[in-house]
Amino acid sequence: MSSADLRDLLAGTGAQLRESVRLAELTTLRVGGPAAVARCASTEALVATVRALDAKGIPVLLLAGGSNLLIGDDGFDGVVVEIATTGVELGADSVCAQAGANWDAVVCRTVEAGFGGLECLSGIPGSAGATPVQNVGAYGVEVASLLRRVRLLDRASGAIGWAEPAELGFGYRTSKLKHSDQAVVLAVEFALDPSGTSAPLRYGELATTLRVTDGGTRPAAEVRAAVLGLRAGKGMVLDPADHDTWSAGSFFTNPVVPHARVDAVRALISAHVGDITVPTYPAPDGVKFSAGWLIERAGFAKGFPGPEAAARLSTKHTLALTNRGAATAADLVELARTVRAGVEARFGIRLEPEPVTVGLTL
């Protein structure tokens, strides 16, 4: 479609159209080639824009915080719909946020207003609307456990309505909304605890930091401060001056090994690494192993492959692939493939990427 036609198409929607935008500007990995971007600062504009593009069959890429996206160097041949809504409303025991609201600002607002619930999810980059898509989780809490409902635009029917968590097929870092273009998240609503008490603290490192026994609680503000400290120490809080944070967070999910294969994996680990305890976590259909640990023990130290590389593992955490300033998407893909092949060769486990990829395959 010509740029004049695109302008005409989006004229009445309320979106602000920019052409040939480098998508690197809109992602936390800071890579990605050019595309037309329609910025939508209201839910009405967002709905009208997606409907108009869908009616003409124009490919749409939804983008908000850009923190879980690896976009190829050729950009996107369609229109990027930038979700730039910001509204947040506190209720008596809940918070409702528009999809584009900065997630950490939402968490901060609830904690400062004296509510508990979201504090373990402090410091996570990205937008509120993205959190149910991949069932964001950290420090023992997952979005699925606190979410009350999600407001969705169904792109096939054009209908708008609230969906309950039970309809969304949540799993570890996944939901029905991930890898599907069928729905657009417009708003999210979370249950909060008006007493200001945190969720039960179940993550060893956080419980130790706060000196509570497993399952104990603390005031939400105290937990938020501790989580921010832990995350910052791992380069998992955005800081433009620190290239360790030019990432998409964890680049791979922690692999869940089916029960039938666990002994074989443990044998490979002890053959290569010796009798060291590998961190594991219970999972519904097997045992979840720590991807960061496996990467490091497969020979990829923090900062791999070295200071000269444009793309390297974070110097603070092996699970984050980072852009040192001049990396391309191709550099990151090459690093991801190297790490994945090394872990597979040594431990027989194929790591799965966590970010959504656009215009490239790993």
- Active-site residues, by number, are 173, 250, 354
Alpha carbon 262 to its chain's center:
28
Concatenate the DSSP letters of all residues of 111-178 into one string.
HHTT-BSSGGGTT--SBGGGTTTTT-EETTEEHHHHEEEEEEEETTT--EEEE-GGGS--BTTB-TTT
Q: Is 164 in the site for ligand EPU (CB under 6 A)?
A: no
CA distance 294 to 300: 9
Stretch of residues binding ligand EPU (CB under 6 A), selected from 6-14, 28-36, 102-110, 291-299: 291-299
CA distance 54 to 313: 38
Residues 73-102 that bind ligand EPU (CB under 6 A): none
Asked if 22 and 33 count as a contact pair (C-beta separation under 8 A), the reply is yes
Stretch of residues binding ligand EPU (CB under 6 A), selected from 16-24, 30-38, 75-83, 315-323: 315-323
Binding mask 252-271 for ligand EPU (x = CB under 6 A): -xx-----------------
Q: Is 339 in the site for ligand EPU (CB under 6 A)?
A: no
Nearest to 40 by CA among 215, 167, 159, 185: 185
Work out how close the CB of 110 gets to ligand EPU at its nearest, in angstroms, rounded to a whole number. Answer: 19
- The Cβ of residue 77 has, within 10 Å, a number of other Cβ atoms equal to 13
Q: Is 317 in the site for ligand EPU (CB under 6 A)?
A: yes
Beta strands in 157-221 (DSSP E): 160-163, 183-191
Closer to ligand EPU by Cβ: residue 111 or 236: 236
Stretch of residues binding ligand EPU (CB under 6 A), selected from 143-151, 209-217, 313-321, 323-331: 313-321
Closer to ligand EPU by Cβ: residue 39 or 224: 224
Q: Is 318 in the site for ligand EPU (CB under 6 A)?
A: yes
Stretch of residues binding ligand EPU (CB under 6 A), selected from 15-23, 189-197, 216-224, 289-297: 289-297
Work out how close the CB of 223 gets to ligand EPU at its nearest, in angstroms, rounded to a whole number. Answer: 13
Q: Is 250 in the site for ligand EPU (CB under 6 A)?
A: yes
ω into 305 cis (within 30 of 0): yes
CA distance 21 to 34: 5
Closer to ligand EPU by Cβ: residue 17 or 293: 293
Asked if 23 and 72 count as a contact pair (C-beta separation under 8 A), the reply is no
Work out how close the CB of 254 gets to ligand EPU at its nearest, in angstroms, rounded to a whole number. Answer: 5
Q: Is 139 in the site for ligand EPU (CB under 6 A)?
A: yes
265-294 burial: b if 16+ Cβ within 10 Å, else e: bbeebeeebeeeebebeebeebbbbbbbbb
Site residues, ligand EPU (CB under 6 A)? 138-139, 203, 205, 234, 236, 249-250, 253-254, 279, 290, 292-293, 296, 302, 317-319, 354
